[in-house]
């Protein structure tokens, strides 16, 4: 029989990293993929020295770490609120108070671990350079980030019906607006999972900002560099696609039996990802309009949306879990990238569109939600 620790790790820690694998891939790209390997250590050393020696820079870094701590907290809270995890209330409630708090601290620490590792290196460098105040501030802030969510977790365990800020927003929207089907999933993200979509959008626009920054250093604007950034943005949205399938399985399974033509359902699915990609679309148009043609911009945008459609349609295979999905999406992304580098952009778009349409029209009516027996 598995221990409580291993069960909680599978429910919270493992799921957190699997669902946010796109986020961590982009983070890895930003911190390591954009830096020359020979200068990697010196780059991060200079970055750390920069924020431990500047109050403003340090506040920005602490703000980013706080946002990540909130993301971790939000994931735990939403897991407690998710269908199928109701047993956690009675299970955690039956654990002795001290042991339960230890479990909460351990869960929060393990999903906050990437920041803890980087902050530990920062503290070491700050102490080595005799900057004890920044070192103490970093240590205190990170300890608090591992401790303060405990109050919310305990409150949720003993008051499961507690409505937080987004709950009031949701009630107001439900009272005043009637949503078309294309907005169902986006509404779900904005009201029930705001940190998930906000963190995805911030990371995605951050990748595009860095892409435009790097492209601006070259004399000639290379459209292929922008397409690489768009591919990274599409990969970053994988966590939203996994959630989209779960949302459809839980709340919209009845729509499969409605007399709606498949082409309308496919058009609605396309509309969902066009709307999700709208901030990136506007950012690309504003920043690339002066450097390339309208056809070039259209090529980039259609490539990104086509990739997202293929990634989503792959999930119409019921046993397509997160790990298998990552393998396929990365493989498709690499093939698309090589075709773009060889100047076969429109052929890549055509193949992506054919793949997405084929997967959708052949799998949609046959799809049934699959429940993993190990969960």
User: In terms of domains, do 256 and 111 share one?
Assistant: no
Nearest Cα neighbor of 258 from 361, 180, 365 is 365
Q: Which of 90-104, 278-292, 338-352 has the lowest mean pLDDT?
A: 90-104
pLDDT tens digits, one per residue of 119-161: 999 999 999 888 889 899 999 999 999 888 888 888 777 766 5
Euclidean distance between CA atoms 167 and 170, whole angstroms: 5
Does residue 203 share a domain with residue 232?
yes
Distance CA 15, CA 7 (A): 11
With a CB cutoff of 8 Å and minimum separation 6, the contacts of 304 are: 230, 231, 233, 234, 277, 280
Is pLDDT of 176 > 80?
Answer: no
Based on the fold, state whether residues 134 and 174 are members of the same structural domain: no
**What confidence score (pLDDT) does residue 136 get?**
92
Whole-angstrom Cα distance, residue 196 to residue 35? 27
Same domain, 25 and 2: yes
Q: What percent of the chain has a predicted confidence (pLDDT) above 90?
A: 24
Q: What is the rounded average pLDDT of the residues 353-368?
A: 91
Question: Alpha-carbon distance 218 to 74, whole Å?
Answer: 41
Measure the CA–CA gap between 37 and 20, rounded to whole angstroms. Answer: 25
Instruction: Indicate the number of domains in the chain.
Output: 2
The range of the structural domain enclosing residue 114 comes to 1-162
Give me the pLDDT at residue 32, please. 66
Q: Over 90: is that where the pLDDT of 353 sits?
A: yes
Q: Is the pLDDT of residue 109 over 80?
A: yes
Give pLDDT, residue 30. Answer: 65
Inform me whether the pLDDT recorded for 164 exceeds 70: no
User: What's the pLDDT score for residue 26?
Assistant: 67
Q: Do 374 and 254 lie in a common domain?
A: yes
pLDDT of residue 160: 63
Q: Does residue 220 sit in the same domain as residue 146?
A: no
pLDDT digits (tens, 9 = 90+) for 28-49: 766 666 666 667 788 788 888 8
- The Cβ of residue 263 has, within 10 Å, a number of other Cβ atoms equal to 11
pLDDT in the model for residue 1: 38
Range among 19-28, 75-84, 133-142, 154-163 rated most confident: 133-142
- Report the range out of 88-97, 172-181, 354-363 with the highest average pLDDT: 354-363
* Cβ proximity of 231 and 333 under 8 Å: yes
Please check whether residue 230 is in contact with residue 300, taking contact to mean a CB–CB distance below 8 angstroms: yes
**Which of 103-107, 114-118, 164-168, 272-276 shows the lowest mean pLDDT across its residues?**
164-168
Please give the pLDDT value at position 375. 41
Whether residues 308 and 238 share a domain: the answer is yes
d(CA 216, CA 294): 19
Q: Residues 333, 289: one domain?
A: yes
Q: Does residue 262 sit in helix, strand or coil?
A: helix
Which tens digit of pLDDT belongs to each residue from 197-233? 888 888 888 888 888 887 777 666 778 888 988 998 9
Same domain, 133 and 219: no
Domain boundary among 145, 162, 179: 162
* Closest to 160 in 3D by CA, of 102, 97, 82: 82
Same domain assignment for residues 185 and 169: yes
Return the structure tokens found at 350: 């055509």
pLDDT digits (tens, 9 = 90+) for 180-197: 888 888 888 877 777 788
Average pLDDT across the chain, whole number: 83
Q: How many helices (H) and strands (E) are present in the chain, helices listed first?
A: 20, 0
The residue from 144, 162, 180 where one domain ends is 162
What's the rounded Cα separation, in Å, for the pair 50 and 46? 6
Top-confidence residue, 52 or 257: 52
What integer pLDDT is reported at residue 374 of this predicted model? 47
- pLDDT score recorded for residue 372: 54
Residue 116 has pLDDT above 80, yes or no: yes
pLDDT at 237 over 50: yes
C-alpha span between 289 and 95 (Å, rounded) = 59
356 phi, psi to nearest 5 deg: -65, -45
Task: Out of 162, 184, 206, pick the residue that ends a domain.
Answer: 162
CB atoms within 10 A of CB 312: 23
Pair 102, 117 in one domain? yes
Query: How far is it, in rounded angstroms, from Cα 248 to Cα 244?
Result: 6
Please state the rounded mean pLDDT for residues 9-28.
79
Mean pLDDT to the nearest integer, 55-60:
84
Of 250, 256, 232, give the one whose Cα is nearest residue 308. Answer: 232
Q: Which residues contact 197 (CB under 8 A, 6 or more apart)?
A: 189, 190, 240
């Amino acid at each position: 029989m598995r221990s409580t620790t291993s069960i909680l790790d599978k429910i919270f820690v493992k799921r957190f990293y699997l669902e946010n694998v796109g986020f961590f891939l982009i983070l890895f790209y930003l911190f390591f993929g954009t830096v020359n390997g020979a200068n990697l250590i010196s780059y991060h050393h200079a970055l750390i020295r920069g924020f431990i020696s500047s109050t403003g820079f340090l506040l920005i870094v602490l703000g980013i770490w706080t946002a990540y701590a909130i993301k971790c907290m939000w994931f735990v809270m939403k897991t407690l609120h998710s269908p199928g995890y109701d047993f956690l209330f009675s299970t955690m409630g039956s654990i002795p108070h001290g042991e339960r708090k230890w479990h909460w601290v351990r869960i929060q620490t393990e999903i906050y671990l990437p920041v803890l590792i980087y902050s530990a290196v920062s503290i070491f460098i700050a102490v080595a350079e005799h900057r004890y105040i920044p070192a103490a501030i970093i240590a205190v802030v990170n300890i608090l980030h591992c401790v303060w969510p405990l109050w919310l977790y305990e409150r949720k365990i003993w008051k499961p019906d507690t409505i937080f800020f987004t709950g009031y927003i949701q009630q107001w929207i439900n009272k005043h607006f009637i949503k078309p089907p294309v907005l169902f999933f986006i509404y779900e993200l904005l009201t029930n999972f705001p940190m998930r979509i906000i963190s995805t959008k911030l990371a995605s626009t951050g990748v595009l900002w860095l892409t435009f920054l790097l492209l601006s250093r070259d004399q000639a604007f290379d459209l292929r560099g922008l397409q690489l950034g768009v591919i990274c943005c599409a990969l970053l949205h994988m966590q939203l696609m996994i959630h989209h399938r779960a949302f459809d399985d839980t709340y919209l399974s009845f729509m499969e039996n409605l007399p709606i033509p498949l082409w309308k359902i496919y058009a609605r699915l396309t509309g969902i990802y066009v709307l999700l990609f709208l901030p990136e679309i506007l950012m690309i148009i504003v920043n690339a309009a002066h450097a390339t043609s309208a056809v070039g911009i259209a090529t980039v945008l259609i490539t990104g949306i086509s990739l997202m459609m293929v990634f989503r349609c792959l999930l119409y295979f019921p046993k397509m879990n997160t790990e298998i999905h990552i393998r396929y999406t990365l493989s498709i992304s690499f093939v698309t990238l090589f075709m773009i580098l060889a100047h076969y952009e429109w052929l890549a778009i055509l193949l992506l569109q054919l793949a997405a349409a084929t997967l959708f029209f052949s799998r949609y009516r046959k799809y049934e939600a699959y429940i993993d027996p190990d969960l």
